[in-house]
Copies of this chain bind each other. A is one copy, B any other.
Amino acid sequence: MNKILVLHDSKSGNTAQMAGYVAEGAKSIADTDVRLLSVDEAKAADVEWCDGIAVGSPTNMGILSWRMKRFWDDEMFHSWGKIDGKFGCAFSSSGGWGGGSEMACQSMLTVLMNFGFLVFGVTDYVSRDLTLHYGAVAAKAPRDEDVRAACHKLGRRLAEWTAVHCHGRKNEHPALKMDERLMPEG
């Protein structure tokens, strides 16, 4: 089984909503087991279990929340150096466009890289004006259809990469699914 963890912190509920769509996206790939957990519920064992992780946090002052940071500093401390090579991506809700959601995603990817994860963004667009090149982003709640689609796409791509790279399921490679992908050049 392809194993995906969607880990999130959320205060207003916006990032938690995003997490739900990310989890749905991951489940859209066959034979994928998905754990959807808040940072208060998750344990180091959940991260150790997964092939790939999507980490979500509200954008707080331009980077991830202190609660999400504490998870990686404290709960994950003894796992450091033992979980290299998993796959990772990020998502975040901020107060508005230009409010730091890309940078918050970058801060989560930095943490994941520190743990030896292979991190990525998604080239695809989900509408004329929305993409998720460094993670899925939202201004406030994921109300709009394209924001939801971005979250779904992120989870789906994560599960595709782990299927391809951890389980040898070459048929799940996004390059073979161009008909379902919205690319600006094609």
Contacts and interface: CB of A to CB of B under 8 A. Distances in A.
Interface of A: 60-67, 69-70, 72-74, 78, 80-82, 84-85, 87, 95-103, 106-107, 110-111, 113-123, 125, 127-137, 139-140, 150, 161, 164-166, 168, 173-175, 183-186
A175 B84 contact: yes
Contacts of A116: 120-123, 174
A63 B74 CA distance: 14
A118 B118 CA distance: 5
A80 B62 CA distance: 13
> How many copies, total?
4
A184 to B, nearest CB: 6
Given A81-B123, A113-B119, A175-B85, A70 B63 contact: no
Contacts of A84: 123, 174-175
Contact of A115 (B61, B72, B131): B61
A98 B130 contact: yes
Contacts of A60: 69, 73
B119 A133 contact: no
Nearest to A124: B81
A153 to B, nearest CB: 11
**A70, A113, A128: which has the most chain B beta carbons within 10 Å?**
A113
A83 to B, nearest CB: 8
A175 B116 CA distance: 11
Contact of A97 (B73, B120, B129): B129
Nearest to A108: B63
B97 A97 contact: yes
Given A61-B114, A63-B63, A110-B103, A131 B96 contact: yes
A115 to B, nearest CB: 7
